[in-house]
A and B are shown apart, each in its own frame.
Chain A
Amino acid sequence: MTDAIRTLGFLAVRAAADLGSAAAFFADVARCMVSPPLRLRSVIDETWKLGVLSLIVICVCGLTVGMVLGLQGYNTLVRFGATESLGAVVGLSLVRELGPVLTALLATGRAGSATAAEIGSMVASEQLDGLRMMSIDPLDVVVMPKAVAMVLVMPLLSALFIACGVFGGWLVGVRLLGVDGGAYLTSLETSVDFRDDVMSSLIKAVVFGVLVGWVATYRGYTSAPNAAGVSAATTSTVVVGSVAILVFDYFITALWGVTS
Chain B
Amino acid sequence: MSSHPTHIALDGVAMAFGTRPVFRHLSCRFPPGAISVILGGSGSGKSTILRMIGGLVRPQAGRILVDGDDVTRCSKRQLYDVRRRLGMLFQGGALLDSMTVFDNLAFPLRERSRLDAAAISRTVHEKLEAVGLHDVDRLLPRQLSGGMAKRVGLARALIGSPAVLLCDEPFSGLDPISSRRIEALLVRMNRTLGMTMLVVSHDVESTRRMADHVVLIEGGGAVEGPFATLRDSGTPYVRTFLSDEVDETLVDEAQQALAR
For residue B90, which residues in chain A have a CB less than 8 angstroms away from its CB? 126, 129-130
Could you tell me the distance between the alpha carbons of A124 and B145 in the complex, rounded to whole angstroms?
A: 19
Could you tell me the distance between the alpha carbons of A141 and B107 in the complex, rounded to whole angstroms?
A: 11
The answer to whether A127 has its CB under 8 Å from any CB of chain B is: yes
Residue pair B54, A133 in contact (C-beta under 8 Å): yes
Residue pair A134, B160 in contact (C-beta under 8 Å): yes
Residue pair A127, B83 in contact (C-beta under 8 Å): no
Within 8 A of B (CB), among A123-155: 125-127, 129-137, 141
Distance (whole angstroms) from the CB of A149 to the closest CB of chain B: 15
For residue B59, which residues in chain A have a CB less than 8 angstroms away from its CB? none
Residue pair B54, A126 in contact (C-beta under 8 Å): no
For residue A126, which residues in chain B have a CB less than 8 angstroms away from its CB? 90-92, 94
Distance (whole angstroms) from the CB of A131 to the closest CB of chain B: 8
Could you tell me the distance between the alpha carbons of A133 and B56 in the complex, rounded to whole angstroms?
A: 8
Could you tell me the distance between the alpha carbons of A36 and B95 in the complex, rounded to whole angstroms?
A: 25
Q: A125-B92, A127-B95, A130-B96 known; 14 other A-B pairs, CB under 8 Å?
A: A122-B96, A125-B94, A126-B92, A126-B94, A127-B94, A129-B54, A129-B56, A130-B156, A132-B54, A132-B55, A133-B87, A134-B107, A136-B108, A136-B112
Q: A136-B108, A136-B111 are in contact. Are A130 and B88 (CB under 8 A)?
A: yes
Could you tell me the distance between the alpha carbons of A122 and B97 in the complex, rounded to whole angstroms?
A: 9
The answer to whether B191 has its CB under 8 Å from any CB of chain A is: no
The answer to whether B124 has its CB under 8 Å from any CB of chain A is: no
For residue B51, which residues in chain A have a CB less than 8 angstroms away from its CB? 129
Closest A residue by C-beta to B57? A129
Residue pair A134, B112 in contact (C-beta under 8 Å): yes
25 cross-chain CB contacts under 8 A: A122-B96, A125-B92, A125-B97, A126-B90, A126-B91, A127-B94, A129-B51, A130-B88, A130-B94, A130-B95, A130-B96, A132-B55, A133-B54, A133-B56, A133-B87, A134-B107, A134-B108, A134-B156, A135-B81, A135-B83, A135-B84, A135-B112, A136-B107, A136-B112, A137-B80
Closest B residue by C-beta to A132? B56
Closest B residue by C-beta to A141? B111
The answer to whether B86 has its CB under 8 Å from any CB of chain A is: yes
For residue A137, which residues in chain B have a CB less than 8 angstroms away from its CB? 76, 80
Could you tell me the distance between the alpha carbons of A135 and B84 in the complex, rounded to whole angstroms?
A: 6
Q: Mark B71-91, 1 if CB is under 8 A from A, else 0.
A: 000001000110110111011
Could you tell me the distance between the alpha carbons of A134 and B95 in the complex, rounded to whole angstroms?
A: 12
Could you tell me the distance between the alpha carbons of A122 and B156 in the complex, rounded to whole angstroms?
A: 17
Could you tell me the distance between the alpha carbons of A181 and B227 in the complex, rounded to whole angstroms?
A: 89
Distance (whole angstroms) from the CB of B155 to the closest CB of chain A: 13
- Of residues B76, B91, B111, B156, which shows the largest number of chain A Cβ atoms within 10 Å of its Cβ? B111
Interface residues of B (CB under 8 A from A): 51, 54-56, 76, 80-81, 83-84, 86-88, 90-92, 94-97, 107-108, 111-112, 156, 160
Closest A residue by C-beta to B56? A129
For residue B84, which residues in chain A have a CB less than 8 angstroms away from its CB? 135
Distance (whole angstroms) from the CB of A18 to the closest CB of chain B: 16
Could you tell me the distance between the alpha carbons of A63 and B72 in the complex, rounded to whole angstroms?
A: 56
Could you tell me the distance between the alpha carbons of A141 and B103 in the complex, rounded to whole angstroms?
A: 14
- Of residues B51, B54, B80, which shows the largest number of chain A Cβ atoms within 10 Å of its Cβ? B80
Could you tell me the distance between the alpha carbons of A236 and B127 in the complex, rounded to whole angstroms?
A: 42
Could you tell me the distance between the alpha carbons of A141 and B108 in the complex, rounded to whole angstroms?
A: 11
Distance (whole angstroms) from the CB of B47 to the closest CB of chain A: 10
Distance (whole angstroms) from the CB of A117 to the closest CB of chain B: 13
Closest B residue by C-beta to A128? B94
Closest B residue by C-beta to A28? B76
Could you tell me the distance between the alpha carbons of A129 and B157 in the complex, rounded to whole angstroms?
A: 12
Q: A134-B83, A134-B160, A135-B84 are in contact. Are A129 and B111 (CB under 8 A)?
A: no
For residue B83, which residues in chain A have a CB less than 8 angstroms away from its CB? 132-135
- Of residues B84, B87, B97, which shows the largest number of chain A Cβ atoms within 10 Å of its Cβ? B97
